[in-house]
A and B are shown apart, each in its own frame.
Chain A
Amino acid sequence: MEALILTVLLTSVPLIFAATGELVAERSGVLNLGVEGMMLMGAVSAFAATSILGNPYMGILAGAVAGALTAAVFSLFALGLATNQVATGLALTIFGSGLSGLVGAPFVGGTVEGLPNLAIPLLVDIPVIGNLLFNHDIMAYLSIGFLVLVAWFLNRTRAGLVLRAVGNSHDSAHALGYRVLLVRFGAVSFGGMMAGLGGAYLPLVLTPHWSEGMTAGRGWIALALVVFASWIPSRILIGALLFGGITIMQLAGQARGWTVPSQMLSMLPYIATIIVLVVIARNRDFALANSPACLGRLFIGNK
């Protein structure tokens, strides 16, 4: 059982990274559908840097930088030139998938030494949960660290308040003198960095090799997670564990001889997300407080 829970935890890490990043971008009012492309860029850069430099920690850095740079392409068009966000995000996924394949071609067939586990002294000795929670690689800790940081930033800091204001009404935020596009650029770049980290987790920990399209749709799941979490950071954790949990449950169920069609189980998270959407939309106060009203809408002009 412990091993199964561990599997759920690890398979959730890329989702937590990518979804937390996208949450920040969406909170600022930008819908970036290019998560899959940014994750792939993060994955390939992390793998390339690790194989060249022989140090997986450089891989983490490379993944983060690559993700942020890919996001900057999105910003250039969707923010700088006010192109439609949905179309630009889709284009970014096409672009990122292609570019990652191109960059990664020389690395196909290689493998690297992944990130080692860093047990936290004392805590790891706690019975039952010690090994489950405190014996992971650095990125697993980082994912939770970022989640906490984002929650604190959004709710407890002035900058977080500004970011949310920009997402809720860019016109009023602008009237108050905030630089809407700059805030959004920051949020989108952060989202890209996090997606890059999420992608990097694949070749650095989960499956230490590179191959084209290895994220296999996880970027899209991250997008669903943000909505499932109704834009509240802590719920990303619940959502990611739920998505990961259902995947693993479905696999473990098969190993134990369950006969429910796997497709039906795989549908559950998406249907749950729709139900969550309805529930939060019905609760007006909640919706007003948390869903960015300007999500996906264009903001033109700056000074």
Chain B
Amino acid sequence: MTCVRCVFLFVFFLVLGTLDTAAQKQIDRRISYKFESKPLTKILFELSNTYDLNFYFDPNEMPSFLLTGDYDDEQVYRVVQDLLNGTKLKVLPYKQKGIVIIDRDRVNLESIEALIENWENGTHSYSVKSTVKTMSLSLGNPLEAELRDLNLQIRIIDELTKEPLVGAVLTNEDLSIGESTDGEGYLGLSLASGRHELVIDYTGYQKVMLQLELYESASFDIEMSTQIYSFDEVVVRANSLEEKMEGSKAGLEVLSMQELSFLPQVTGDVDLLKSIEILPGVTSTTELSQGFNIRGGSTDQNLIILNDGIIFNPTHIVGFISAFNPDVISEVNLYKGFVDASFGGRLSGVLDIKTNTKSNSDTKWKGKGGLGISMMKLNLEGNPSPSFAVNLAARGSFNDYLLRQIANVELQNSNASFYDLNANANIKLSKKHRLFFNNYLSSDYFEYNDQFGYEWKNHHSGMQLKSDLGSGFYSNISLNYGQYDSENFTLNRPDAFRFSTGLNYYKGIFKLDKKLNKEGYVRIGVEYLNIENEEDRLEPEKNSTILGKKIQRNGAVNWAPFASLSTKMSDKMNVELGLRLSLLEGYSEYTFLEPRVSMSFHPSPQWNFKASYNRMSQFINQFSNTNNVLPSDIWVSSNTNIQPSVMNQYSIGAVHLSKEKTFEWNLDFFYKEFENLYEVDDFAQIILNEELENVLLDAEGISYGIEALVKKKKGKWQGSLAYTYSRAFRRVIDEEVRINNGDFFPASFDIPHQLNVLAVYKWLPVASFNFAYIFRTGSPTTAPTESFIQDGFIVPLYSDRNGERISYYSRLDFSINLDLRKSTKKGFRNSFALGFYNLLGRNNPTNVFFRRSTLGNIVPFQFSVVGAVVPNFSWNFIF
């Protein structure tokens, strides 16, 4: 055995020596090379071209962090070895062919030979990661060039699909220019006339080096090609990571629909609201929630915007599914901490959703669609002309048909149908002006066994005019109209009724941005919001004993001028300052100045520290005296007796990115104070109460917490683990009424502990196994603790408000995704998802209630929305 080992080692080193001897010429070559913030693969590529060197390596093993160096007359071997410092890679000469870079653990003849073969047969190449596509463009006549700066508007699109690439970055050699594309793929910049070398970068796409000869202002498209995938249905914010590491906005989550597609969903389709619950600081108390809670705020304290339109009920089927079609969503920003001054009117957070309408020179129509367990969808987009693009999407359920097939009378007499429609248009008026039209309609009808039900509709229509005014000025004028109506009804009983409520609004926004020397921007603007309440009506059903009644609530008109400044204080520090002034028309005492401050300090590419302060006000609230927020809960604007609420939030955080960008760590702390809140009095009558202020108790609140998140972003296994410790308390300060003796008590959405785990195994580029686990503490409840006898009745004596807790929530979901749309082929392509929601089959409680038995005893029951494993399947296609 010993002799065999000796022979092997001798042969190995002999070969190695042979490799070494024969390649000395290449590896010993001396080079002079200077570079800044370049990935290793690009450096090797440039060296190979400049010095006629052959490098052999596995592109998938190459680190992606950026390197900076300046070498003068150094051996190639020493240079590369220096660049590999801190990695597991080793540099070796290979015969006369070139230089091998390989993992230390695989330094053997077999692995080295395999590596060489992969390069020779084309399996490996520089094109997988970092080949640069060079383009040359000449604009204008140098003889007619002007001395002033010229304006460029560039749209970055996918070469195959023509879809805009959101967040693509354009820089120049010395990084004095840095711009990124907006939601429509556009970026604008000012350059002096002459020659420029610009680089356009976007994750997953081949980098473009643009050699530009610029002598007149212009606008043009640049097409980028993918390395492996063609993403038709999603737009990835490539800079979400860079935004986190260098951006100043603490608490901003930039969401990727592609990442969300890996989450197992109850319907098999991507669900935006269910997906954001996986983020730290975002909770939902039940599966029937009409929204979500951010950092200890109630659901009505979140501003949900779809293309500048306000959405008052973002769900279908009483909270089970979100009302946003994922196929039309291009950009999602969730503001948990710092909120830009252009947003306001709510206290806790902002969910800003934008849909896409692509315009391009290709006038072909294309589409996508899908079929799931209980719903179907279809999306068509195209260009009737090169300057006019439309995007139409429809989604609807066929639950009613399914229910009729069930051999159960109760289900046959029930309904649970919904649909949502999106119709968007994009019109290029000129090189500098673009007009967008957005229309959205969602409708729900839910009825149980001819007994009771709900019906509600969201509608929004809007128009945006985006203009390049020149000299770095950009304007955005947005006009919107929306409506929300809801009904709650009971049937087939003596007191059957129908209660309806609703509101409509007119909203206008004007924004003017000025780029600041390519390092930031200044923004000023104003927002106008007019909310008009419709009559609250109670109408008797046929033969009902109920007397009808109606009341008219006041609306509100809010003016909010705002200004913000985003700039770099230094190479390592960014700051964002904002100021918003909220004015309620007719109430001069309801004027609120809302400063917004956010700073970030990134001492290195791996670390970023952030701090922010927000002050926000809210002049419209949703009130409910039930355990769950219902579609028919009323929205009430502030008036003489109901003041606007105010919130101050302080937050600090840190982000760490591992050197290879494999792991991302986030830690955030927040503290919020709420003033002028209202708690509904015990046993209060909310509906049709003309003196509602008499049952609303003055209150205040605090919330605080820690959010921790770790993400693994590379490798076969990817995912995230998020833990949040968060508390939310309220206190009634009304002198006449004492709830809980005037002490702080847990808010209805106080969830102290929440753990979310997402694990994705990317088995193949087109196939993945996905696991999601959610655990959270049970929500507070009010439960009987004792009883007494009153005139023969056994009366339960309930605890202090929210003095008890229901059982915890624990859910495991699993799905398998097969996405055959991810190919460069054209034509009809499919994807499939098979999943299981609530794989543990746990009866997670929605609420606990107490009934009296015929003997007068008080019996506790638990209501769970989903009490079993729910399989789901979806088929999606594009053409």
- Bound pair (A, B): no
